Chain A
Amino acid sequence: MRVRRVLTRWLVTLGVLHGIVGFAGFFAPYDPVEQDRKSPYLPPMRFHLIDGQGHFHARPFVYALKLREGSFDRYVENTTEPQPVRFFMKGARYRLLGFLPCRRHLFGLENTRIYLLGTDAYGRDQLSRLLFGGQVSLLAGLLGAGITLSIGLCIGAVAGSFGGWRDSLLMRLAELFMALPWLYVLFAIRAFLPLAVSPLRAFFLIITVIGIVGWARPARLVRGVVLSAKERDFVRAARGFGATHGYLFRRHILPETSSVLLTQAAILIPQYVLAEMTLSFLGLGVPEPVPSWGNLLSSLQQYSVLVSYWWIYLPALAMVPFFLGYLGLASSLQERGAAYKIESRIWGI
């Protein structure tokens, strides 16, 4: 019962986080590719409640930032004019969930622009880019994990059910795949493709590649489950009732793999998000100006950015709750799975 409650808590946490990213258009104040060339590397603005004269405002406000005289990246607050934050205001057009045309944003300013996480070199809003970038990165993680698990399930099931030379061949292949240095293989694959690819093609390319790479571990786990499930008494009993191999696999063996697959999914998704970030960071992922978490961080490759603009690191910090959520989910799924005897044996591997 307790395990179940913990599991629900992690699921709700992740649901909320993904919801925010999924409805990025609403939570982000601006379009992620919209540039504001007058304010590059603008630091995050702060909410205020008390103005320069010591008056209290019930509605939080910010001060607009303007460039300091004789500087190109130092800003000062214009404390004469408090800019009250407006909620549910109309702004840039976007498509909610990719198809619903919409103009409402959670918050915004009337006269000037609000940058809660600062801006990048082109004056693009970091918060908007973080939220929209999350859509790309998380989708890559989810789809990549989906591909990996499907391949892993098929291969593991074949190896476990048939045994013999097929099993040996597939398992040696799995060992080979686990031994390859994947980052460099990805470079090699990228080298075969044209220099400029459209964002959509680049996205699907990344998903396919990182999805295909990781099948070995889930395949080995599924094989283990299938092997031990085949010998369980209720499977043997069903064979005794005249069940065919197809029936046994579908009704008895496949459901046994579900908890291993779920746990693997919770482990793989953050791994693949990180893989997408690594590739994009190195410029092999989704091309600019499309935001992704790796793209956001890629300007950190310049030393001047690394030491001068601390808010460029914030996207990396924002990923922590996601990864924490998935790890918590994985461990509580594992705990639940251990309740069944055979899975606990698998985890002993």
Chain B
Amino acid sequence: MDVLPILSTLRRHKITALLVVLEIALTCAIVCNAVFLISQRLERMQMTSGIAEHELVQIQAFGIGKPDDARAHTQEDLAALRQIPGVKSVALVNEVPFTNSSWNSSIKLDPKQKLPTLNATQYFGEDLLSTFGAKLVAGRNFNPDEYLEFRQVQRDETLQKKVTGVIITRALGEKLWPGQSALGKPIYLGDDSVRVIGVVEGLIRPSLFNGDDTAQWSMVFPLRMDTGNASRYVLRTAPKDRERVLAAAAATLRKANPHRIIQDKKTLDDIRGEFFQDDRAMAGLLAGVCIALLVVTALGIVGLGSFWVAQRRRTIGVRRALGATRRNILHYFQTENFLLATIGIALGMVLAYGINLFLMLHYELPRLPAYYFPVGAVVLWLIGQAAVLGPAMRAAAVPPVVATRSV
């Protein structure tokens, strides 16, 4: 196909051609970035937690009035909850992944250090690891006799030195001591140090207030909670038993002590779903805008194509009379669209890169992967060709006899 006659025709429709190019460029730039944002959101929603999410349920219980003998009440609650058929493990914990409440501490590797090394979350609760289902990959779990009462430790500084060890995630160990085994190494919280006795594969921290890069910076301490300082009971069961276990747990807790408020009975899957609901909504909205943009652009091409065909009816007729085949006419309009789309896409890629730079600056987004450019180009070419097909076929159907009529 000879491109020169097409170019010379386009030169006579400079502004209109420019507008088509501009529209394709803007669409290309916005859609590339929007799709990238969607992929980022979807990836975030897939974040691994390191725990047996599908087997966990949470229920919160708050005593009313002055707590008396919280320790004994806690043991009663735990014993009763363990009796529920299908419950594999129960723990009263200070925090639960994918909620917005978290306990955190700055840690140092050397007490003389001026600034803390980093900030990590602190998980407390007897049987926490086995209940959550976090997988131990090095060292050991806590022995039952290692647990101290959080209530006492909190009020007595001398007890803080008696904590026998801490279990951390692999990611935290790798961050603190790159390339080395974390086992046996000391971590300083304030002036007191505690040694790493075990490493788990993963255990996500709640709330992620320090950014997603720090999601796996978690520590577990051998501290026992009671109803006076913790409210979250976590139960592990088979996925199919979760709803039943939740209902039974609520009834059990109420029976053990009616003078309290029981709320937030949820499976961990639901808790996770709520945690990422804004990401899901944003991804949906972006997808909607992408589709709307592509449809508007495609319809715009159809509209303009139809105009041009109607405007050039006589020229087409003359060409047909002079021997051009239907295929020639069809190809003419397809090539014309291809040319405009190519210029638009090239401009759009530059624009997409610019928008990406802006987003990287203001929204801490990574760089647009290179493969977005060829994929985006192909998609827009295809949409352009599909949109122009109708008007081009109509052009090809113009009979040569039109040439002999005036207007």
- Chains A and B bind each other: no
